[in-house]
Amino acid sequence: MLRTIWEAGEVSRASLSREIGLAPSTVSVIVQDLLDDGLVAISHVAPSRGGRPPVVLRFSTERFAFMGVDIGASHVRVALMNAQGTLLTSDGMDYPVEDDPQGALELIERLALPSLTGDADHPTVVGIGLSVPSPLDPRNPDQLSARILPRWADVPVLSRVKRFTNLPVWIDNDANVGALAEHWWGAGRGSSDMAYIKVATGVGAGLVINGQVFRGSAGVAGEIGHTAIDSSGPLCRCGLYGCLEAMVGASSLRREIALRLERGETSVLSRVDPAPEQIATAARAADPLARDVLSVAGGYLGTAVANLVNLLNPAKVILGGSLPVLAGEHLLAPMRAALAMRTLGRSFDATEVVVSELGEDAMVLGAATQVLEAALQSPSLLARLPSLPTLTNPTAVLLTRGV
């Protein structure tokens, strides 16, 4: 019932009865419980069509907030989202997350606490969702990959965040939460089968199958960054050779640029670790080295996407992360060419390849959406919060703070 009200935006009891297939009397009892718990509010009274004017209900969007924490390889971002996918607050900064787990966790606490210690004029934070740049084992989600993030191997990030917030906490791989965000709020809306591919420092894919994020039996589905593109290629941080990430990740692009500069090629780029923004800017300025490096990377990316399309035949492939957004057609045109060359005709024709609508917000929105998804599946997460007093004015909004 709550999920139906949330999806509808505004709906009457009679419409709920028809939608769900329950007797009007049963719907009225459940709706009253939702009103008493403050999970649903009265929006307005609609004009009568020959009987009692219908009371229109809506989800109590203003009452609740959902915190998302995006823990990247080199940044931390904390944000609050409402139940309609709108960011209410956001704060973050660059930080050497891979190398300093303790400092990163202290930074998360510092950024999160202001939103958790508000007053009655702010929405109640229901829970916290974490996005991490590591595959997760569903049997032990508090353990990050020792191979991908060796310094985090013995750091119980889930438990640490629970400890200082005293709130329920969810955690998932960054590509999975990016897929969730695009599916709910972005370019993947309306697509029950889609793939989200994040290309940044690392490369990963989040898969949505039949409307649900697919994680696989061990939680490592979608690790497209560690599929083999060239077995004789460079060593990847995972310990294997020729992985996609080692060919198109930000570190691999910087390494390739440095090697070619040492060979005497000319470029506006510096030998000192150019950021993706600088590489993209140079490509837009017609720098031949930057354009060639992005073109080669696009071809590798297209090969990997072709394998995914041939295997899963998704309706959409959404490219996210910093590199596709910044590089644009300098990366995407060669990617599409490789994709067209390496896919079966029907697979290619049936799959739409687009750039993320959410951009850099995808990770933090997806992290927060984990909490909203759980709350709509288990309304007790919301009902445990302090109930709202009965409102005499159905258009009024009263916000409370959890304790």
Residue 267 tokens, joined: 């470029």
- pLDDT for 391 equals 32
Q: Report how far residue 361's alpha carbon sits from residue 377's, in angstroms, rounded to the nearest whole number.
A: 24
Do 36 and 95 contact (CB within 8 A), yes or no?
A: no
Q: Which residues contact 179 (CB under 8 A, 6 or more apart)?
A: 188, 194, 195, 196, 205, 206, 207, 208, 213, 222, 318, 366
Residues 138, 78 share a domain: yes
Q: What is the mean pLDDT of residues 199-207?
A: 91
The pLDDT-based confidence of 120 (bands split at 50, 70, 90) is: low
- pLDDT for 375 equals 94
Residues 252, 346 share a domain: yes
Residues 201, 158 share a domain: no
Taking 60 as the threshold, does the pLDDT of residue 396 lie above it? no
Q: What is the mean pLDDT of residues 380-396?
A: 50
Q: What's the total number of domains in the chain?
A: 3
387 domain residue, yes or no: no
Taking 90 as the threshold, does the pLDDT of residue 131 lie above it? yes
Average pLDDT, the chain: 89
Residues 200, 288 share a domain: yes
Residues 192, 175 share a domain: no
Residues 368, 256 share a domain: no
Distance of CA 230 to the CA centre of its chain: 29
Q: Which residues contact 230 (CB under 8 A, 6 or more apart)?
A: 241, 242, 247, 300
The per-residue pLDDT for range 185-199, each reduced to its tens digit, is 999 999 999 999 999
Residues 262, 209 share a domain: yes
Taking 70 as the threshold, does the pLDDT of residue 392 lie above it? no
Residue reference for tokens 């923004």:
277
The per-residue pLDDT for range 212-233, each reduced to its tens digit, is 999 998 888 999 999 999 988 9
Distance of CA 266 to the CA centre of its chain: 38
Taking 80 as the threshold, does the pLDDT of residue 283 lie above it? yes
- pLDDT for 322 equals 86
Residues 199, 311 share a domain: yes
396 domain residue, yes or no: no
Q: Report how far residue 126's alpha carbon sits from residue 384's, in angstroms, rounded to the nearest whole number.
A: 9
- pLDDT for 119 equals 60
- pLDDT for 49 equals 75
120 domain residue, yes or no: yes
The per-residue pLDDT for range 60-107, each reduced to its tens digit, is 988 899 999 999 988 999 999 999 999 999 999 999 999 999 999 999
The pLDDT-based confidence of 237 (bands split at 50, 70, 90) is: confident
Residue reference for tokens 């593109």:
229
The pLDDT-based confidence of 54 (bands split at 50, 70, 90) is: confident
Q: Report how far residue 60's alpha carbon sits from residue 58's, in angstroms, rounded to the nearest whole number.
A: 6
402 domain residue, yes or no: no
Other C-beta atoms lying within 10 Å of the C-beta of residue 386: 14
Taking 60 as the threshold, does the pLDDT of residue 306 lie above it? yes
Q: Report how far residue 202's alpha carbon sits from residue 263's, in angstroms, rounded to the nearest whole number.
A: 26
Q: Which domain holds residue 197?
A: 187-357
CATH number where 16 lies: 1.10.10.10
Residues 199, 158 share a domain: no
Residues 171, 203 share a domain: no
156 domain residue, yes or no: yes
Do 227 and 304 contact (CB within 8 A), yes or no?
A: yes
The per-residue pLDDT for range 10-42, each reduced to its tens digit, is 999 999 999 999 999 999 999 999 999 889 999
CATH number where 367 lies: 3.30.420.40
Give the residue ranges of DSSP H helices in 170-249.
174-185, 244-248
Q: What is the mean pLDDT of residues 162-177?
A: 94
The tally of CA atoms less than 13 A away on the side-chain side of residue 174 is 29
403 domain residue, yes or no: no
The pLDDT-based confidence of 385 (bands split at 50, 70, 90) is: low
- pLDDT for 202 equals 86
Report which of residues 383 and 393 the model is more confident about. Answer: 383
Residues 265, 351 share a domain: yes
Residues 373, 349 share a domain: no
Taking 80 as the threshold, does the pLDDT of residue 397 lie above it? no
Burial label for 127, CB within 10 Å (0-12, 13-18, 19+), is buried
Q: What is the mean pLDDT of residues 310-325?
A: 92
